[in-house]
Structures are given as structure tokens and as C-alpha cells.
Amino acid sequence: MLYNRRLWLQQSLTALTGMALSADVAATPKFSFTPSPGVILLNSNENPYGPSPMAQKAILEYYTKSNRYPDDYLGLLQKKIATHWRVSAENILLGAGSSEIIGLAALHVSKKKKKVVTAEPGYKVWNGQAASFGLEFERIPLTNERKTDLPAMLAAIDDTTAMVYICNPNNPTGTFVEVTQLKNFAVEAAKKTMVFIDEAYTEYAGLESLATLAIGNPNIVVAKTFSKIYGLAGARVGYAIAHPESIQQLSNYQPWPNAAISIVSAAAAFASLDDKKYVQNILTKTTEARVICTKTFQQLALDFIPSQTNFILFNIDSIKKDLIKEMEAKNIFVQSRQHFNGKWCRVTMGTLEEMKIFCTALKEIAQK
Ligand SMILES: Cc1ncc(COP(=O)(O)O)c(C=O)c1O
């Protein structure tokens, strides 16, 4: 994310310098929001294949309607999502990515209590915002198998707990707990606090959603996103699946319910749900990418955490060079992580071609 923004800034500055130098360019400024050719972004768990063909068609069809407020379209998208999960439209709240949904839940629970129980390592991007609402974190280490420690998390819930947040599969480890165990946990934990289940990567792992459980329990909220398997990170579409009361409460923090989604993004998300062929293709390609990577890790004797998602965490303690910087010098962007008392790298599964380039680079750097 950080690197993306830095790249964008570099390109914008280059474009601005160009504008200052040339009157022609100033007349028709061209800003590029996509990375320069040759840059390989493996740092934000994005889908490298672009939106599905059906979503792309919808985007082109609907951008001309951007002069209109999206209300009617949002209702259609809610119904579409509801049908997909066999729930009702009143169980769905749309947000600008699942990030907005997480933020709404954090804001809501912060009104009453202050402690959030979460896994360590876990997904933290929203933690700064939550802290600004006065929330504090109790971070529960993963098990020895590097999975979410459900019994320990349950034990950590007390009278001060505002919410327990679980990302399954977990980011950054890519590990997951079995859905039956998670359901049992959610039912128990929801007797005491709000249970927030982040399902950003369930499709990759083929995991059942907790949607059906959530709609019957006002203390369980499921968050889903179109940013990952559906390749729409830039369109910013996510949603909550929850009991109608919880949907109502969360929506009170939006200017109007579902307000953040544009017509274009709604159309793209709507069409994506129909493109089963695209999803299947992404799953196949992601699995192939993981195989390419894990073979390389094995060849280099690098410890890695087997993942069922579109990213893998691997240990880089044995690499003498600064892997992240060396990769960056080769225009490859990955994430540096400090976990389990060591240095790790989280790499997103890019296209097969990108993964081959990444693996060649990794071999070169690791053997220096
Ligand atoms: C676990 C998890 N949840 C939520 C998000 C946010 O996704 P978005 O706001 O794009 O839906 C991410 C993004 O990387 C993620 O990894």
C-alpha cells in the first residue's frame, strides 16, 4: 500500500515536472495511476489479473450514468449479494471496501467499551483508526501451528471487551481455523461481546462463510470484500452481512445507508458475482503461483507458512542481503514483516510470469 502510493507520487511528480517543461503536456496533462511498466506489485494482496471481463464491460456501460445518485443501483447490488449468500437485502450493508465496514464496527463498539481482542500477527491496517476511537488491543499470539488461537481468544474476553476481531484465513500468515470451530467460537464469544469475522480471503481457501450464523445473531458481523478474488480493490466495494438490527446500527454512521459506493463500482461488483468462470480461473492461477513460489522456497531452504490464500509469508533470517531493498531495486515490491522473533517477507501471488521473475530475483538475492 505504502509503496503503491509512493509509486503514484513519483509518477505524478514526473508528470508535473513534464508539464512545467512542455506547453503541450500542460495543455493535456496525463496522469498515470497505474504503476510504470516493469513494476511488479506483490505487496498489497491485490488480484493481478484486473477486474473480470464482465465487470469491465459493466464499468464501461455504467460510467456514463455517473451524473445520477446511485441509490437504485445500490439496492440492486444489495439484493444481488443477498441472493448470492441466501440471505435478505436487509442483512447487507455496503461500504467502501471492507475497510469501511471494519471502521463502522470499531466506531460503534467504541461507544461502550474499549478492548479489542485480536490475533498476533493479524490484519492491522484498521488499528490506527480504531485507536483514534479510543480502542485498545489485546493481541493473542497464534498457536504453534501459526493459527488463530480460538480458546485463548475466548479466555481473553472480559467485561471490558468491545469486540473480538478474527480474520480467517489470517493475514499475514494465510493459515485458517476450521469453520466448525470458528462457528462454535463465534456463538460462545457473541454471548459476551461483538464478534467481527473478516472473510477477505475465504474464497481462495474454499471456506464456508459464517453469513448464515451472523444473520441470526446481532452480535456477529461478517465482512466481505470485492477487492481480492474479484479483482476490484480500486473500485472499493465491500459489505457486512449481519442481523438487520446490526446493519441498521452500523448504517447510522454513514451519511446515508450504503452511501460510499459509486454507480460504476456497484455495476462492476454486480457483474463480478455472475462471472464464475473468472473466479475459477483466478483460483487456478493463484494455486499455480503458490506452487511456483513454494518450490523456490524449498530449493532455497527458506521456512514458509503453507497458505491457502493469494499471499505467502516466508522467513528471511538466513538471507544476508536486505531482501526488501534488493527486490525494490529490481522493481519488485513485497512486504517486510517482523514476526515470531524473526524477519519475514509477505509476498502476494502475482501473475505466473511475475512469480517467475520474483523467484529468479529471490534466488539471486538469497545466494549473494
Ligand atoms: C484481512 C483483510 N481485511 C480487509 C482488507 C481491506 O480490504 P478492502 O478495504 O479493500 O475491502 C484487507 C486488505 O488487504 C485484508 O487483508
- Summarised one tens digit per residue, pLDDT across range 218-261 is 999 999 999 999 999 999 999 999 999 999 999 999 999 998 99
Give residue-wise pLDDT tens across range 88-121: 999 999 999 999 999 999 999 999 999 999 999 9
Domain final residue pick, 272, 306, 340:
272
Kindly state the cell numbers that stand for 92.
Answer: 447487507
Would the pLDDT of 4 be above 60? no
Q: What is the mean pLDDT of residues 17-43?
A: 63
Would the pLDDT of 12 be above 80? no
Q: Please state the atom number of ligand 1 nearest to the C-alpha of residue 98.
A: 11
Quote the domain boundaries for residue 235. 53-272
| C-alpha–C-alpha distance, residues 45 and 49, integer Å | 12
Answer whether residue 286 is part of any domain: no
Tell me: do 231 and 151 sit in the same domain. Answer: yes
Distance 173 CA to ligand 1 centre (A): 14
Q: What is the mean pLDDT of residues 48-57?
A: 96
Tell me: do 240 and 109 sit in the same domain. Answer: yes
Distance 348 CA to ligand 1 centre (A): 13
For ligand 1, is residue 198 a contact (CB within 6 Å)?
A: yes
Distance 359 CA to ligand 1 centre (A): 25
Q: Please state the atom number of ligand 1 nearest to the C-alpha of residue 123.
A: 1
Structural domains in the chain (count): 2
Residue 215 near residue 36, CB atoms below 8 Å: no
For ligand 1, is residue 260 a contact (CB within 6 Å)?
A: no
Residue type, 333: F
For the chain, give the mean pLDDT: 92
Tell me: do 30 and 63 sit in the same domain. Answer: no
Tell me: do 182 and 262 sit in the same domain. Answer: yes
Answer whether residue 127 is part of any domain: yes
For ligand 1, is residue 335 a contact (CB within 6 Å)?
A: no
Would the pLDDT of 8 be above 90? no
- Residues with Cβ within 8 Å of residue 238, at least 6 apart in sequence: 94, 95, 96, 97, 98, 99, 100, 101, 223, 224, 225, 226, 227
Structure confidence at residue 36 (pLDDT): 75
Structure confidence at residue 33 (pLDDT): 62
Distance 122 CA to ligand 1 centre (A): 12
For ligand 1, is residue 348 a contact (CB within 6 Å)?
A: no
If you search the block for the grid coordinates 475459477, which residue do you land on?
280
Tell me: do 87 and 208 sit in the same domain. Answer: yes
